[in-house]
Amino acid sequence: MIAQAFDYAAPKTLDEAMTLIAAGAKPLAGGMSLIPMMKLRLAAPEQLVDLARVKDLNYIRESGNQLHIGATATHYAVESSALVRAKCPLLAAAAASIGDVQVRNVGTIGGSVAHADPAADYPAALQALDAQIVIRGAKSERTVSAADFFVDAFTTALETGEIVREIVVPMEDSSTSYQKAPQPASGFALVGVAVRVRKNGDRIASARIGVTGLANKSFRASAAEKALEGTAGTAADVQKAAALVPQGVDANSDLHASADYRKHLASVYAARALTAALS
């Protein structure tokens, strides 16, 4: 549990950080995934750029009808922010279900998103929220939707030299819920389902279902969403839609849950999340 030697820089500005990253340094946010890997020598970056002192990466603010969350906002900051709780409770709920309080005090939203662990909690919520990920490169910025950002296990749309700068989520009047079956050792999601539904009168006008833990990447359960839209959201509608969530998914299997069980959990937790959101 002793890391290899590495250089360490902790610049105060994003420009300085980006210059070092462009030169090949590895960005360090909360370090909740990177540091253990380094201690086990599974990772051995030559240089770390600690983003903790870059003030303009650590914020939560509203602008128009959107919430902007800086990459180094901690899970605890997101979970406890009055603004997030009031305007985007789904994101606060996902943050609150991450790991344990020690991890949430240090881990960051940008770090988690960039790491793209297939069982992380945020991606489910970001998929359901149609979140935008603002990516900063050496010279320019671009914005990618959550759906396009998560490519595969630990693989994102980030190119070499780019970092996640900001997460943008909508503030809107919708009903949401995040429901998760935690793996007992790690606290990661065996399966986690985030839903966001909006009703128009007594009909569901739009439904968004983000799933994590089930497959190699988080995804939106589009078939289930479509099945739900236009219905009254009765218990039967919910069950029907929830059953579609794992359909056709190449589910992961490990020591803690087989692919079959994961798929089953995905249906169960989708139904629970939908029921909670609709109630």
Partner 1 sequence: MKISGTYTLPFPRERTFALMQDPEALARAIPGCEGLQHVGPDEYKMKMKMALASLSGAFEGKVRISDSVPPESFRLIVEGSGRIGFMKGEGLLTLAAVEGGTDVSYDGEAQVGGTMAAVGQRLIDGTAKMMIKRFFEKLAAEAAS
Partner 2 sequence: MATTITKTELLVGKRIRRREDPRLITGTATYVDDIQMPGMHHAIVLRSPHAAAKILSINTRAAEGTPGVVAVFTGKDTKHVGPVPCGASLPGLRVPHHYILATDRVYFVGHPVAVVVATDKYLARDAADKIEVDYDVLKAVADPEKALAVGAPAVHPEWPDNTAFNYHQEGGEVDKAFADAEVVIKQRITSQRLIPTAMETRGVVAEWHAADRQLNLHSSTQIPHLLRSLVAGMLGLEENRVRVITPEVGGGFGSKLNVYAEEALMGFVAMQIGKPVKWIESRRENFLCTIQGRGHVDYYELAAKKDGTILAIKLKIVQDLGAYHQLLTPAIPTLSVLMMPGLYRTKNIRADVVGVFTNCVPTDAYRGAGRPEATHGIERMVDILADELKMDPAEIRLKNFVTPEEFPYPTATGLTYDTGNYAAPLEKALGIVDYKNLLKEQAAARQQGKVMGIGISTYGEICAFGPSPATPAGGWESATVKIEPSGKVTVMTGACPHGQGEETTFAQIAADELGVDIDDVLVIRGDTAIVQYGIGTFGSRATAVGGAALYFALQDLKAKIKKFGGMLLESDDVSYSGGEVICNKTGASKPLSEIAGATYRAMKLPPNTEPGLVATYFWEPPNFTFPFGAHIVITDIDRDTGQVKIRRYVAVDDCGNLINPLIVDGQVHGGVAQGVGQALWEQAVYDDSGQLITGELMDYALPRAHMMPWIESHHTITPTNVNPLGVKGVGEAGTIGASPAVVNSVVDALSPLGVRHIDMPLSPEKIWKLMGGNN
Burial class (CB in 10 A: 0-12, 13-18, 19+), 172: middle
Helices (H) and strands (E) in the chain, counts: 12, 14
**DSSP three-state, residue 179:** strand
Query: Which one, 39 or 55, has the nearer CB to partner 1?
Result: 39
Residue among 131, 150, 133, 151 at smallest CA distance from 142: 133
Cα–Cα distance measured from residue 218 to residue 125, given in angstroms and rounded to the nearest whole number: 9
> What amino acid is encoded at 129 in this protein?
L
> Quick one: which of 239, 215, 213, 216 has its CA closest to 228?
239
- Residue ranges in 59-118 that form contacts with partner 1 under rule CB under 8 A: 115-118
Does 256 sit near partner 1 (CB under 8 A)? yes
Residues 226-255 contacting partner 1, CB under 8 A: 250, 252-255
Residue 42 binding partner 2, by CB under 8 A: no
- The sheet that has 7-9: what strands, in order across it? 7-9, 47-50, 26-28
Residues 100-129 that bind partner 2 (CB under 8 A): 100
Of 120 and 131, nearer to partner 2 (C-beta) is: 120
Binder among 4, 102, 222, 234 for partner 2 (CB under 8 A): 4
**Residues 170-209 vs partner 2: string with x where CB under 8 A?**
-----------x-xxxx-----------------------
Q: How far is CA 18 from CA 13, 45, 137, 214, in A?
A: 9, 16, 7, 34
30 interacts with, out of partner 2, partner 1, none, CB within 5 to 8 A per kind: none
Contacts with partner 2, residue ranges (CB under 8 A): 1-2, 4-5, 40-41, 100, 181, 183-186, 255-258, 260-261, 264-265, 268
Contacts with partner 1, residue ranges (CB under 8 A): 26, 33-34, 36-38, 40-45, 115-119, 152-155, 183, 186, 188, 215-216, 250, 252-256
